[in-house]
Structure 1
Amino acid sequence: MTLTLEICAASLQSALAAQAGGAHRVELCQNLEQGGITPSYGLIREVLAQLSIPVFVLIRPRSGGFVYSEGELAIMRADLDLCRALGCAGVVLGALTAAGRVAMAECAALIKQAGSMEVTFHRAFDACPDQFQALEDVIALGCRRVLTSGGQPTAVEGQTQLAALVSQAAGRIGVMAAAGITAANIQEMAARTGAQEFHASAKRLLPPEPDAGLFQAERFDTDAALVAELVALM
């Protein structure tokens, strides 16, 4: 079984570390501490200029839930245009109804705007009460894969559901396990769930910045050695 490792990177440094460690793909975002939002134009452009592995960009206009206004959807469509123009390999998106169903019309319009870029349906999926119906909806939309922890805080906690989703998918869509994937559990997760794609941040806490003063805050970056360890185990 060939496994794929996607690294979630929220900075140029993290994206470079992901590639140096042997990651197969990068999901680029910003504000990862809030679940991630769409990165800036400058970050997308610079990462694309410096990486040779595929770069997927998160299309999410704000943190919080996944029910979007028409204005927010317009922002997402504009960001999709930007990613397509810059030559991104793929995008990561999702939208829900107030009832927690996949917002089919809204998502279909976003996917059409994505053009030839690959589409991953992101962890809005984990906010759906009926994941089995949601999986059929995401398949119907034509997404290449769905990013999920099986509806639990971590993929380890959701491994039974992940295995059920992989079985239901039956090769029609990729099920990418996310949340809490580490070197300590990736082999077991692959064996128990049947998932062939894994999503991790492989990050370490950076030392304090001596010049930050009042603006000091915890910062994390992807560590190439941690990425390499995950790749070796795969």
Structure 2
Amino acid sequence: MTMTFITGANKGLGHETARRLIQAGHTVVLGARDPQLGGAAAQSLGARFVQIDVTDDTSVAAAAADVAQHEKSIDVLINNAGISGSMGEAGELTGSDALSVFDVNVAGVVRTTTAFLPLLRRSADPVIINVSSGMGSLAATHDPTRLESSIVAPLYTASKAAVTMLTTQYAKAFTDIRINAADPGYTATDINGNSGTQTLTEGTDAIVTLATEGPGHRSGRFIDRDGEISWS
């Protein structure tokens, strides 16, 4: 039985990922910041809820300790929690705006990965999936045929570029763990006011692929629902 922990899973991509992986036979521990929303989401899916605020070291450590006590180990960690942050004029952004986005989207990945490494290393086939975005891709944001090139969102895009680079660096550092990044694509979620053209199921295809592909696949990849992509 594959044991999977997902952050930010009370709604959107995280919730749909949990649903699909449970359907695929995974045992899912659903992580979320809000106990009421997270608990209700977990109950509706048949998952166990663990409270986690990825911006809080104490909360992340407590979540890892909770999973260690109950599940003993995990096979798949999905770093899904993320925010868009301020979408105001670029010239009006502040350092505080930047810190708040990077605290969730980047530092949150670091906190959670570090805390859950001991649990992953008890698995015969440990996997980390970081939910990134084509919005952080130099290639995509400079390609006039792609939607990413038409959107100005300095903080979100920079944070997702950082997540993809974190993924490649972790893949080099932790050669005993398969670590990859997933681009959901332009999916209807709260982050974009549900304006995305893809359904949640389509948006979770890459994440589910990485969570279910099994041993023997490469680490350090960046994929979307159509396969491996370049972010340079």
Q: Which has the higher helix share?
A: 2
Q: TM-score, normalised by structure 2?
A: 0.39
Q: TM-score, normalised by structure 1?
A: 0.39
Higher RCO (C-alpha under 8 Å, 6+ residues apart):
1
